[in-house]
Each structure stands twice: as structure tokens, then as C-alpha cells.
A and B are shown apart, each in its own frame.
Chain A
Amino acid sequence: GDSVTQMEGPVTLSEEAFLTINCTYTATGYPSLFWYVQYPGEGLQLLLKATKADDKGSNKGFEATYRKETTSFHLEKGSVQVSDSAVYFCALSDGNNQGGKLIFGQGTELSVKP
């Protein structure tokens, strides 16, 4: 079945450091890929998405490119801030399940120190 694998956390960075959170997926069809962010005590917020191969999603300085050849959707940011401290979830939707079931990775906790 479909699955998403994220790098394990927690990831601890200093402010202004470069961020990469790895995400790889397994899917039988042509999935869409998503990054959601969850700040402490809050719900999930859509950070960015890509719906086809080679698409780049971007938002708030974060970017991720849908790489079909490596089945990856790695999240990057050039310069992190303390306010980026959160849990990041990679997810896919393959459209094969009526109701649009999202398949989530395990989440990666990011802590940014001043």
C-alpha cells in the first residue's frame, strides 16, 4: 500500500541555519504531495503542496519539489527562524480511495534555537 517515510526527529538548528527535512513516498498511482505544519497546541496547517511531477510548492520561504524519479518531496528553507519550531508532516493523496484519504509520515519535530 501507499506509504510516506520522513526523517526522524527531533531536528535542532540554530537560527538562520539551512533546513532540509527528507520525505520519500511509495504510491501506485499519481499522488499529490503535501507538507503540513503543526505549531505547539494547534491543528495542522497546509504549508505547501505539489500535484504532479517536477512541480515546486513554496510558501513562507519553504520549498519542496515533487521528484518522481526519486519518489521524494524534501522540504527546504534557506534560513530558519525560532518561529519555525513545529512538527512537520509530509503526506500524500493518491486519489484512489474515495474520500481522499491522506497518508501521513510520522512527523519531524523541528526546534530552532536563537
Chain B
Amino acid sequence: DTEVTQTPKHLVMGMTNKKSLKCEQHMGHRAMYWYKQKAKKPPELMFVYSYEKLSINESVPSRFSPECPNSSLLNLHLHALQPEDSALYLCASSQDPLGTAADTQYFGPGTRLTVL
């Protein structure tokens, strides 16, 4: 089983709202990732968690706040977003938190976020 689940599937929020995206995997993977994807573009890495600790933050604005409560769950808290933050947000997980070359990332279906 290589399933990563994400909720909600769609989210519409205003610029003053606070919302959260949720990601879950039960493959025993110890690395989890958040990506942002604009239409017809490749995913852009936002954050990496290794062993539930934040290991990479790709200079993401503070209005995006990640959280890894345990090894199976990854959240992305959203606050005071801008319309340009509208995108597909993808979660991924992989087995090896040290990121060896052969490590394979498995992606969830994504949350399509619209900021009004």
C-alpha cells in the first residue's frame, strides 16, 4: 500500500480566514513533504519533515505554518493568505528521512486551495 491521503479535497477561504490542510500516511515513512503546484507547472517544495522534525524550509512565508504531530500526520496551517497562494497543495512521504538518492516519494491527491 503506497497511499497518502489528504483532506480536504477542495478549500475556499478568504484572506482573513485560518484553515488547515491535513495529510496522513500509514506506510511507516519517516519523511514527509509539502509542495505547492501551480497549473501546468511542476511541484515546488515548501517543507520537509524528517523524524517529525522540520529539516527543510524553502523560504516559505510565515503565513504557511507546518506541523508534524506524529510520524503519520502532517498539517499545514494557513493564515492571512493572498490570492496568489491559490494552488494545488500536495503532500508526499518517503521511507528514508536522510534522503538517499534511491528514496522514493509517494504523493497524495492534493488539496485545491482557492483564496478569495
- Tally of contacts, chain A with chain B, CB under 8 A: 84
Contact of A98 among B90, B98, B105 (CB under 8 A): B98
Bound-complex Cα distance A36 to B92 (A): 13
Contact B101 A99 (CB under 8 A): no
Contact B90 A46 (CB under 8 A): no
Contact A100 B99 (CB under 8 A): yes
> Taking the complex as formed, is A94 at the interface, i.e. its CB lies under 8 A from any CB of chain B?
yes
CB-CB under 8 A from A98, the residues of chain B are: 50, 55-56, 98-99
CB-CB under 8 A from B45, the residues of chain A are: 101-102
Contact B107 A100 (CB under 8 A): no
Bound-complex Cα distance A57 to B107 (A): 19
Most B CB contacts (10 A, CB to CB) among A34, A91, A102 go to A102
> Taking the complex as formed, is B85 at the interface, i.e. its CB lies under 8 A from any CB of chain A?
no
Question: How many of A's residues come within 8 Å of B, CB to CB?
Answer: 30
Main secondary structure of the interface of A (DSSP, over half): loop
Contact A34 B42 (CB under 8 A): no
Within B74-116, the residues touching A (CB, 8 Å) are 88, 90, 92, 94, 96-110
Bound-complex Cα distance A29 to B104 (A): 17
Bound-complex Cα distance A28 to B91 (A): 27
Stretch in contact with the other chain, from A11-19, A75-83, A105-113: A105-113
Contact of A31 among B50, B101, B106, B110 (CB under 8 A): B101
Contact of A104 among B33, B43, B104, B110 (CB under 8 A): B43
Contact B101 A44 (CB under 8 A): no
Contacts A93-B102, A95-B102, A104-B42 aside, 14 further interface pairs with beta carbons under 8 A come to A30-B101, A42-B110, A49-B104, A51-B102, A87-B40, A89-B42, A93-B99, A93-B103, A99-B50, A99-B97, A100-B103, A102-B43, A106-B42, A107-B42
Residues in chain A within 8 A of chain B (CB atoms): 29-32, 34, 36, 42-46, 49, 51, 87, 89, 91, 93-95, 97-102, 104-107, 109
